[in-house]
């Protein structure tokens, strides 16, 4: 059935491209869970009469119309997607997909500019492979820290020089717009658990996610597990066990739809390990984060060659609270400690934002300005 819908999407794409003679800016999303990272920019570019904005998706659940009459086109994750990406013709293709050209999605000679948009605030040289951004032409970075990291790696690995613009993290703009400012007293008991995905077989989600949640349930907290899109693909067995053993409890809920921001707004504290969500939680929510140390997440095999601290580690050390996995029996105590520590250290968030020159204003407008300048500079 998905093949049939992908065929229809392919035909819709061909018809749209043939009929519209405007400059084409195409967005691609792997799934519905990546929509929010692109949404604000899509909406604002969709208002431009001299542009044709097209949204391609590999998720049948991602077909809700976007404002300004932008109808998502489903292209599947197989034959038709490969076909489209091989021959795609446009001025710009904007994605959050790393390692372009290093997997089945390759560059097309008919696309003038491949643009990378970040789906995390983390640094570029630890949690990503060293070739993650090599094949992009333009990068819309979250701040000066990412620009500096990317330029250092360009020199170190002799990559082609890219155009890098500090436009800001568009998803953070979306989070702040959707933030609910008041938390009821009952929500103080809600704990959000968002563990990172990891290429390593040894990872906190697969090995301990169920134990962490069960401990929260036993301690009478309301636990919310929010899954990363990669976790849904890579950790089927662990997720199946969690559903089987824990969904029966009234004080547990599973949040797999990342377009749903209510769990973030409702919770009072985040439990995580190595991912970038902690930075979003600190900056957008101004709430405490408890880190559980277990297995370091390093996806760049050349990390030791890059003599730079990471922004995520600085936030972890300066604002967060850390525990070891073998201290799980003391989880309730660490939750209290995390909240106490955060009240003492939360002012450091602003200092870290300033030190790293993270752009926190007008992210979509900044990105739109750069894109239009590049498209119409001649």
Spell out the domains of the chain, with CATH numbers in brackets. 2-176+359-375 (3.40.50), 179-355 (3.40.50.2000)
Using one digit for the tens of pLDDT, what is the confidence trace for 22-74? 999 999 999 999 999 999 999 999 999 999 999 999 999 999 999 988 999 99
3-state secondary structure of 120: coil
pTM: 0.94
pLDDT for res 69: 87
Lookup result for tokens 């989880």: 331
Lookup result for tokens 């926190």: 360
- Taking alpha carbons only, the member of 121, 99, 126 closest to residue 30 is 99
Query: How far is 118 from 168, CA to CA, in rounded Å?
Result: 9
Query: How far is 346 from 288, CA to CA, in rounded Å?
Result: 8
pLDDT for res 185: 43
Using one digit for the tens of pLDDT, what is the confidence trace for 209-221? 999 999 999 999 9
Q: Are 291 and 273 in contact (CB under 8 A)?
A: yes
Lookup result for tokens 């547990």: 252
Share of the chain above pLDDT 70, in %: 98
Q: Beta strands 252-255 and 269-272: pairing type?
A: unpaired
Q: Which two tokens stand for residue 201?
A: 């077989």
Query: How far is 170 from 367, CA to CA, in rounded Å?
Result: 9
Q: Which two tokens stand for residue 292?
A: 């559980």
Dihedral (CA of 228, 234, 238, 243) sign: positive
Using one digit for the tens of pLDDT, what is the confidence trace for 243-299? 999 999 999 999 999 999 999 999 999 999 988 999 999 999 999 999 999 999 999
Number of other CB atoms surrounding residue 227 within 10 Å: 22
């Amino acid at each position: 059935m998905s093949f049939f819908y992908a065929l229809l999407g392919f035909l819709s794409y061909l018809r749209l491209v043939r009929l519209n003679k405007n400059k084409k800016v195409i967005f691609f999303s792997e799934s519905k869970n990546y929509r929010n990272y692109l949404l604000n920019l899509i909406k604002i570019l969709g208002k431009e009469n001299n542009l044709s904005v097209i949204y391609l998706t590999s998720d049948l659940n991602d077909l809700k119309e976007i404002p300004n009459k932008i109808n998502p086109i489903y292209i599947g994750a197989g034959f038709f997607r490969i076909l489209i990406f091989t021959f795609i013709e446009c001025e710009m293709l904007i994605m959050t997909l790393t390692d372009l050209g290093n997997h089945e999605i390759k560059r097309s000679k008919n696309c003038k500019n491949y643009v990378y948009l970040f789906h995390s605030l983390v640094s570029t040289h630890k949690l990503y492979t060293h070739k993650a951004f090599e094949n992009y032409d333009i990068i819309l970075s979250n701040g000066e820290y990412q620009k500096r990291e990317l330029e250092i790696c360009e020199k170190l690995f002799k990559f082609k020089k890219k155009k890098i613009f500090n436009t800001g993290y568009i998803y953070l703009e979306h989070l702040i717009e959707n933030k609910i400012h008041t938390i009821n007293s009952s929500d103080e008991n809600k704990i959000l658990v968002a563990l990172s995905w990891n290429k390593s077989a040894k990872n906190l989600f697969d090995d301990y996610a169920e134990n962490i949640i069960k401990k929260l349930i036993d301690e009478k907290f309301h636990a919310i597990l929010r899954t990363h899109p990669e976790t849904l693909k890579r950790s089927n067995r662990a997720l199946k066990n969690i559903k089987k053993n824990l969904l029966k409890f009234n004080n547990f809920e599973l949040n797999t739809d990342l377009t749903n921001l209510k769990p973030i707004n409702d919770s009072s504290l985040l439990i995580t390990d190595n991912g970038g969500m902690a930075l979003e939680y600190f900056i957008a929510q101004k709430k405490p984060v408890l880190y559980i140390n277990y297995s370091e997440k390093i996806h760049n095999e050349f990390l030791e060659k890059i003599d730079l601290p990471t922004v995520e580690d600085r936030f972890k050390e300066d604002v967060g609270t850390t525990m070891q996995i073998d201290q799980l029996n003391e989880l309730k105590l660490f939750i209290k400690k995390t909240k106490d520590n955060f009240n003492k250290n939360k002012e450091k968030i602003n200092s870290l934002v300033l030190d790293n020159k993270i752009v926190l204003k007008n992210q979509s407008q900044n990105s739109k300005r750069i894109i239009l300048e590049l498209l119409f500079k001649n």
